[in-house]
Every structure is written in C-alpha cells, then in structure tokens.
Chains A and B, each alone.
Chain A
C-alpha cells in the first residue's frame, strides 16, 4: 500500500499544531476572500504570497496556508452568490442562478448548508482523485489539442441557449456581447491590437473579474440608488440554519456526477473551474428536463455548480503538479509560489519531492474538513458579514470591489472600466437581458478563438482537421445535440413558465 505510506508521510508533515493553525487561518481568510466580490481566489492568493515570505514559512507551511486559502475561497464564493446575487468569484457565477431564487423563497439557510455540503463532496472527491490518479490523469492533457479544445468550448456555448429560460434570443445577444468584449486586446496569432483604440491598458483585453464585479456588484449599487434603498434585492433574511437532510439526500447523485464532471474539466488545462461549474450545471439541467425547475431555486441547481467548481479546483492541481501547466488562474499563482520556493512542478515532482506533494494532499484533506465545519455549523458568522443593512453593506461592497479590482493591475483604468460595466449591467437588467452569458463569453471566447486559429495554422486552413480525432467528434456530437435538443423539446412540451429575475 504505497499510497497509504505516502499519505502517512503527508499527514506527519501536515498534522503539526502549527500547520493545523495555518490551515484554519487559511480557510477562514479564504472563505472571506471568496465571499467578497472583487476578491477572487487568484488575486486573494497572490496578495497573500508576500505574507508567507515575511513570516519566513518553509515550503510545506506556505503551501498549506495558500491551498487552504484557495479551497476556502472556492467555498466562500457561493455565499454572496446566494445571499446577494453577486458572485463572489467567477466559478461561483452559476450558483447565482438557483441559489439566489432559493434564498428569496426564504430558504437561504438551506441553500447555504446544501451548497456547503456539495462543495465538500466535490472537493473531497477531487482530492481523492488527485491522490490516486494524478500521474495517470496527467496524460489526459496530451489528448487535447487545439481542435479538441475548440469543440469543448463550442459545447459550452451550444448549451448556453438553455440558460435563460424565458428568452433565448436575449441570452444569445448577451453571449455575443461577451464574445465581442473577449475580442478586445492583442491578437495572439498576429500580434496586432484589436479594438484597443490605441490604449495600452486594453492591450491585454478585459479581465473577467472587472466585468463580473461591474455587471453584478456595481449594477446592484445603481439599482439601490434608483430605488432609494427600497425594493433592493439585498436583504435576504436568514432565520435559522438547520440541516436540510432531504435536499442533501435527494441531490446525492447530482453531487457525485458533478464532482466527476468538474474534476475532469479541472484536469484539462485551459478549461478551469468556471467551465467545470458551467458544464455541471447544464448537464444536471438537461438530466432534470424542463420540469426540473432549474433556475427557479431548486436544491439540485445549487448543489450542481458548487460540487462542480470545487471538484474542478482540485482537478486543476493535477496538471499544475504533474506538468507544470496551470489549469486555472489560481493554480497559476500557486505555481508561482512553488517556483519561488525552488520547487519546479513537472513530471518528476512526485518522485523527487514526495514530502511536498503528499504534505499538500494531506493538508487539502485537512482543509476540506475544516471548511465543512466552518461553512455548515458556523455559516452564520460569514452570513452576518453580508447581513448588515443594505445602506451599510453596499458602500462596503463598493469599496472592496474598488480595492480588489485595483489590486489586479494597480491601474485606475480598470476601475473606470468596472464602473462602465456597472452601467451596462444596469441597462441590460432594465431590458431583461441576462448577464451570465456575457461573462461566459468573456471567459471562454478568447480561448475558443485562439484554439480555432491554432488548429487552422497547424492544418494550413483545412477545416476537416477540426473533426480529426474521436474526442473532437464526440464533443461536436454533444454540442450539436445540446443545441438542437431544446428546439425539439419545446414543441413536445409546454412553453416553460416565465421567470423574470
């Protein structure tokens, strides 16, 4: 039992009082960072890196602290999604779709506990997957070339139509706006600037965090101003927190399926946690069918994206550790931390530095249990942060948004851009155009375009190259089915109920 002895080695490293303390601190900080809009896991971890150096932590302690923050932020992101309808970070985007309606029905506590449990299941399964399968799974990355990635992103966009249940055309428009915004910046194939109007700040394109915070948090502030504090969506009541056992049991399979799907999405470099939670949500939605009530605040709609994004967070560690290819923004930051500690992730890491790898895995397991405790019985503490009266909370959210966004690039330009996105979000919400597809367009549009163009360079412009592998063909079939299915289903079934929010 080599794994057991390795794990024992890992726990011997991770289970000292000092590292345990670091894990608890990391989980707590991470949950808060995740819950605050504008501070996502990647800039949260990046901001904390210098602290590990000034504290003089050794490699393992620093890793324990940072990964606890990472996992904590993945848990925390859901809190503001559910209570405020503002995603705390980009993977928590999908949790707003059912989490917030559920909270509005007066079941905020249930939604929080359920999503906490779903996060735990997803993260735990992913950590176990990382433990047993990492060296094998690293090979999966070798199977994905430009045409496969293109088909994968296409699949995501094809299922997008099902996202807005009341008006698909508006969802499509929103996705196009997102894709258009994604085009801004340096064209990586020719190196030519596009839609930058000669502005150096736009050369790297628009950071999706700027868009998320603007479209959700700042737009919310505008609505608040308009209504003079009345009729704002802020202020969901949370009475008492109980364990919604029936919901947890009934979403059991959902959590398992989404964990597996999220983990796979995480393992693929370039897909990441956002795609993980998106695919998890969409697949559960199609399994449930139009009568499943997704989008109206059903427990499964809360459990699915949370299990998916937490599993993807664990999955993203696989290519980071075994190949040195970060699978997401946050793992890119963790990669930087490792390299600063003179640990070069790559194919030889598991053999050469077992104490680092297994210490990390053990601390992930510990962090996960700490987070379950912190996020289920103690969830009220975090909720209180967001439960102060709206006239106190919103200025606070605004301030933190500004600080968080400024910490991204240290330029005031992003702040202006964020406010512009806020105005856009306000207008779009008035027009009843959903904002989630915009974010997905920005998140996935660039990668999708780049992979298409890489495929075209490799094949000298031969489009049949896009269907040249079984994986690509499979993804294309799924994409076409995902696009066509709702069209036919709608004729068979009644028009879905109007849901506005």
Chain B
C-alpha cells in the first residue's frame, strides 16, 4: 500500500527533477504549448540536438504569461547572464516591446540572436466571398466600414490587427478606429469564424491557412511579402496590387543581455547551422514558413530598426499615446 503512494510521489519528484538536468541548454517558450513560440523552441531544440550542435536534448520550458512579458522580465531580472538559455521570439515580441506592453521592459534589455524563417502575413476571405481581390475588400471598407469585420489570432493592437490597418492606411483610410477587428483564440479559430460568415475577412499568417487553402475553403487575397511565396505562387502580394505593405512574422530567438560576445556568436552560429539543415527546411515547408535567415549582429541591427518603426507606426495608428 505505501509502495503505491511512493510511486505516486516518485512521479512528482521525477517530474521536478527532469527540469534540473545539469548544463543542458534550455529554451523558454513564453506561451502555452501549441503556439508559434512553442513550435520554435521544440523544432529548433530538436534539430540542435539532432545535428549535434548541443550534447544533450534541449529542455523546453513553457512560461506563459502577459503575452510573453512574464518570460521577458524573468530573463531580464533572474537569468541575465545564463549562457545556456535561449528564448523563442517573433514579431509579436518586438511589437509588444515597441508598444510598451511588457510593463516598462524595453527591447535593448536582451540580445536578439537570430531569425531563421518567417511566416508571411496574409489576408484571406471565405471561398464563397464576394471579394475577389484586395481592391474589392478595400473599396467595400471605403464604402461602409461597418460592413467588414476582420478576425485574427492576436488581441487588439497585436500584429494580426496591424496588418489590415497597414493596408487600409496605404489605401488612404485615415480613421483606423473605423476598421473593425475581433481577436479570437488563434488563426484557425479566426478562419472558422470567417468561413462561417461571422466575419468577412481573416488576417493571419501563412502557416495558419495552408490546410484551408488546399481544401479550398478560403481564398487568399494577398500575401504581405515583397515576392510571391515559393509553393504559393498563385497568391498575389499586396505590393503588386498597389498596397505598399510588407508584414512577416519572423521566428527566432533572443538570449540574455549579460552573456559574453563569444557565447552570443556561438548561438548565432548554431542557429545558422539549424537554418542550413535539411530538417529545418522540411519543417519550414510543412508549416508554411518562408526562408528568412538573419543571425548575429546583422539581426540585432534589423530588430532595432523594426522596433523603432513599429513604435512610430503604433503612435500614428493611435495604439499607443
């Protein structure tokens, strides 16, 4: 009888011990399992070990909270010089940092080590929708903004919300508050609402719509990249339709600020090795990611620019004061 109790307690102990494996690299996914950050950590972690860049499997920790803010402050305050720590990040991270959504934390409190893939932004409608092109949709908004509601997987003011705002702004609609948007639980849910006819268009990432494009339930009006995306050549870009908007959701990592330059470069090289691996290419293809590799200082400089741009744009859009 006590034997069983011990087993049960042993299970608890084993679960907690697993988290303490010595010196193994740790990847924090600042969200619950299931999202893009979790995917980044688990895929990159798996490939890092698979191609021998790290000696033991990468421990993935899910630290959900405040849209990534909890993990960010945790890293800044408690893990600032941990060389074995990487944290999944994406456009959402920099968007929120730029909009001061992490309780005063700023982007320069960590080092952005690299991005190895990007999820192109898309605007889609249901297959039976009356809107055939981006122009149709934008004209309908110009006529009567109340008629069109966008659904997206991020909260109001988030990256998915920004995409239609960037397009309507490019089309000369100045009142951003007139554009209706509802945030639901993820891209697939946003598609469900759009196919169901409750919302008229969905704003999200390419990876979220791949299956629905193949099954013919939705029609992509525009992809928000400079060039058409390989494998999806029949989806026109917003740029070629006359809207100068590029919005991609990059997938990458940041590391604590306090680590040495050697450690920073080492992570950059490891990330480059993952980007070059066949496993990552397969994973990108299966998940609708487009190639987008920037590592090391090159990436950090690009991020600084993106944060500055997002901040000024958010101010302009009225999302922050």
Please list the residues of chain A having a beta carbon within 8 angstroms of any beta carbon in chain B.
Answer: 29, 32-33, 36, 46-47, 49-51, 53-54, 141-146, 186, 188-191, 198, 200-201, 203-204, 269-270, 323-326, 332-333, 335-337, 339-340, 342-349, 381, 384-385, 387-388, 392-393, 396, 399-400, 403-404, 406-407, 409-411, 454, 457-458, 460
Task: State which size class the interface on B falls in.
Answer: 35 or more
Q: Which of B46, B195, B214, B215 contacts A340 (CB 8 A)?
A: B46
Interface string of B129-170 (1 = CB under 8 A from A): 000000000000000001001000001111000000000000
Bound complex: CA A268 to CA B233 (Å) = 34
Whether a CB of chain A sits under 8 angstroms from the CB of B2 is yes
Q: Which of A332, A406, A411 contacts B32 (CB 8 A)?
A: A332
Bound complex: CA A204 to CA B69 (Å) = 10
A146 touches B69 (CB 8 A): no
> Which of B10-18, B116-124, B244-252 interfaces with chain A?
B10-18
Whether a CB of chain A sits under 8 angstroms from the CB of B180 is yes
Q: With A324-B211, A325-B192, A403-B15 as known contacts, state yes or no: A396 contacts B34, CB within 8 Å.
A: no
A335 touches B34 (CB 8 A): yes
Please list the residues of chain B having a beta carbon within 8 angstroms of any beta carbon in chain A.
Answer: 1-2, 4-5, 7-9, 11-12, 15-16, 18, 32-35, 38-39, 42-43, 46, 57, 59-67, 69-70, 73, 101, 103, 146, 149, 155-158, 180-186, 188-189, 191-193, 195-199, 207-208, 210-212, 214-215, 217, 282-283, 286-288
A344 touches B287 (CB 8 A): yes
B9 to chain A: closest CB distance in Å?
6
A411 to chain B: closest CB distance in Å?
7
Q: Which residues of B contact A201 (CB under 8 A)?
A: 65-66, 70
A50 nearest in chain B by CB position: B60
Q: Which of A46, A47, A346 contacts B215 (CB 8 A)?
A: A346
Q: Which of A342, A388, A407 contacts B15 (CB 8 A)?
A: A407
Bound complex: CA A349 to CA B214 (Å) = 11
Q: With A50-B18, A200-B73 as known contacts, state yes or no: A347 contacts B215, CB within 8 Å.
A: yes
18 contacts between A and B (CB under 8 A): A29-B11, A36-B12, A145-B196, A200-B66, A203-B67, A203-B70, A323-B191, A332-B33, A336-B34, A340-B39, A342-B287, A344-B210, A345-B211, A346-B210, A385-B5, A411-B63, A458-B180, A460-B180
Q: Which residues of B contact A190 (CB under 8 A)?
A: 156
- 5 A-B pairs closest in CB distance: A346-B211, A145-B198, A347-B215, A203-B66, A336-B33
Bound complex: CA A454 to CA B180 (Å) = 10
Q: Which residues of A contact B149 (CB under 8 A)?
A: 457-458
A457 touches B193 (CB 8 A): no
Bound complex: CA A381 to CA B182 (Å) = 49
A454 touches B182 (CB 8 A): yes
B188 touches A332 (CB 8 A): no
Q: With A53-B57, A332-B33, A342-B282 as known contacts, state yes or no: A143 contacts B196, CB within 8 Å.
A: yes
Which of A32, A36, A204, A396 has the largest number of chain B CB atoms within 10 A? A204
B158 nearest in chain A by CB position: A191
Bound complex: CA A475 to CA B286 (Å) = 40
Q: Which residues of A contact B188 (CB under 8 A)?
A: 323-325, 346
Bound complex: CA A29 to CA B61 (Å) = 21
B9 touches A396 (CB 8 A): yes
A51 nearest in chain B by CB position: B18
B101 touches A191 (CB 8 A): yes
A400 nearest in chain B by CB position: B12
Q: Which residues of B contact A344 (CB under 8 A)?
A: 207, 210-211, 286-288
Q: Which residues of B contact A326 (CB under 8 A)?
A: 34
Q: Which of B39, B146, B157, B195 contacts A336 (CB 8 A)?
A: B39
Bound complex: CA A407 to CA B15 (Å) = 9
A347 touches B182 (CB 8 A): no
B216 nearest in chain A by CB position: A347
Bound complex: CA A409 to CA B60 (Å) = 13
